Amino acid sequence: MAIQEFTLPDPGEGLVEAEIVTWHVTAGDTVDVNQVVLEIETAKSLVELPIPWAGTVASILVPEGETVEVGTPIVTIDVGDDTAPADDGAAGAANDASGAADGGEVAAEMQTAADVAPAETGESDDEPQQKTLVGYGPTPSSSTRRARRGRGAGGGASGGGTLAAPATRGFAKQQGVDIDTVEPSRDDGVVTRDDVKKAGGSNAPAAMSTPSVASSAPPAPSADTVAKAAASAPSVRPDKPTAAAPAPAGLSDERIPIKGVRKVTAQAMVSSAFTAPHVTEFLTVDMTRTMEFVRELQGMRELKDIKVTPLLVVAKACLIAMQREPMMNALWDDANGEIVMRSEVNLGIAAATDRGLLVPNVKDAGRFGLGDLGREIAKLVEIARHGKPSPAILNGGTFTISNIGVFGVDSGTPIIKPGESGILAIGTVRPMPWVVENERGEQEMVIRQIAQLSLSFDHRIIDGDVGSRYLSTVGQILENPAKAMLWG
């Protein structure tokens, strides 16, 4: 018997810790070389870790939900009498196969595996070595997840073994939904936020409705009962303040650990807010022609494979306006005392996910036509919400668009993502009275489709006239998309 200790590998990107999200094996399970055995969450992405040896799981050293530092032992493997190291060629082939699993450029980037050097343990050279560890996608040996204890074949749970991210579990608690009763929709058996929403909708009348709570509650005590209880209570002055009265049954405060995406987002926003002097400008725009343009695009055969929305036109307008105002895409390099005029626009699209706010970005977005830009945005947002975005997808942005209008919000003061020059928020497009000039040159009041744009930019780089011209150009294109042909 030879026991090998598997330690948390370095996920790269300067990260020093990760959270154990999901174990795909338990003690006693047999594993193969490069089989994915667990999923971890770093500050930037979800990562699946393969095991470098074949053998039997001896023990799980770190339970799900705990955050550990790089180099911490997390599982032990009994490799038996086979002391040969994992074959480098097999590991490389497995990684190559997983990298080609999705065919797309971004998906392939997600599947790329990183080599992690084995830790120096002082053991002899004939001991198994820890080989390729970190991968962003499933390997051929683990295309389906091992059934968890307590889960039936249909994906339901009976013993608390439900596969779900911590954020999803927290959301289920907020909604009053038992996570173990939620039926997963994904093939790998992981319960998503949408699954919880569906379960919450179906359970709401029984579990959440006010009448049922009221009907099951005991009757309130009478005034005489309360008075007698107060009179008989001993008059004792506590030595220290007493704790607050417990919350009613079923209601309690919840403490959510600050870690992962939430922790990094908070640090980044504080750093940005107190490092880059923000200026936010607002512009109310008549979007009527843009909405008509969107309907025309939706009817075009060439765009049938994508969901055309006003956000796509806004994104294209931002790129065209940036050609006229290139300073909007510049970088303040404090370390070298320089302003870097960047040649490419890496356009970020803010996406709300179960893990928090993620901002994948389209690399060199200016090279895409309208249709291809729409496909890239849709692909990246889908990966951010339902896949495992790699750090490469999330890093390197130069300018961001945030569609706050989907939440019914008109405007705000968005905070610039660190390393970027600006961020544009687009509010809800809603019918409102608007003054226009008719064919006779007279002003009249009509109902138009109106939205507000909010632009925040780094005042160290961008002067007020540059920011104002940029916002005005975006607004003019949205008021009359034909100007895109003139300026683009």
At 256-298, the pLDDT tens digits run 777 777 777 787 788 788 788 899 999 999 999 999 999 999 9
The domain that holds 106 is classified in CATH as: 2.40.50.100
Do 198 and 328 share a domain, yes or no? no
**pLDDT of 216 higher than 70:** no
In a domain, 401, yes or no: yes
| Phi/psi at 420 (5° precision) | -110, 170
Do 370 and 450 share a domain, yes or no? yes
Q: Is the pTM of this model over 0.75?
A: no
Question: What's the structural domain count of the chain?
Answer: 3
- d(CA 318, CA 315) in angstroms, rounded, equals 5
Do 436 and 372 share a domain, yes or no? yes
Asked whether 287 and 454 are in contact (CB, 8 A), the reply is no
In a domain, 225, yes or no: no
Tell me the one-letter amino acid at 231: A
In a domain, 244, yes or no: no
Beta bridge partners of residue 426, listed in sequence order: 453
Do 354 and 312 share a domain, yes or no? yes
The domain that holds 452 is classified in CATH as: 3.30.559.10
Do 395 and 465 share a domain, yes or no? yes
**pLDDT of 129 higher than 60:** no
Of the residues 24, 278, 386, 459, only one is catalytic, namely 459
Do 31 and 123 share a domain, yes or no? yes
Do 277 and 384 share a domain, yes or no? yes
pLDDT, tens digit, 9 for 90 and up, residues 436-446: 998 898 999 99
Do 319 and 458 share a domain, yes or no? yes
Mean pLDDT across 383-410 = 90
In a domain, 462, yes or no: yes
pLDDT of residue 222: 54
- d(CA 384, CA 355) in angstroms, rounded, equals 9
pLDDT of residue 148: 40
Q: Pick the residue with more confidence: 172 or 343?
A: 343
In a domain, 273, yes or no: yes
pLDDT of residue 387: 75
Residue 100: count other Cβ atoms within 10 Å of its Cβ.
12
Do 190 and 136 share a domain, yes or no? no
The domain that holds 183 is classified in CATH as: 4.10.320.10
In a domain, 223, yes or no: no
pLDDT of residue 326: 95
Do 277 and 390 share a domain, yes or no? yes
In a domain, 226, yes or no: no
Do 187 and 320 share a domain, yes or no? no
**Is 459 among the catalytic positions?**
yes
Residues 6+ apart with CB under 8 A from 131: 52, 85, 86, 88, 91, 115, 118
Domain boundary among 155, 181, 207: 207
Distances in whole angstroms, Cα of residue 4 to Cα of each of 20, 104, 154, 378: 19, 37, 34, 43
- d(CA 480, CA 478) in angstroms, rounded, equals 5
In a domain, 112, yes or no: yes
Residue reference for tokens 């796509």: 312
Distances in whole angstroms, Cα of residue 285 to Cα of each of 312, 433, 449: 16, 12, 9
Do 282 and 378 share a domain, yes or no? yes
Range of the domain at 109: 3-142
Up-side HSE of residue 144: CA atoms within 13 Å toward CB?
6
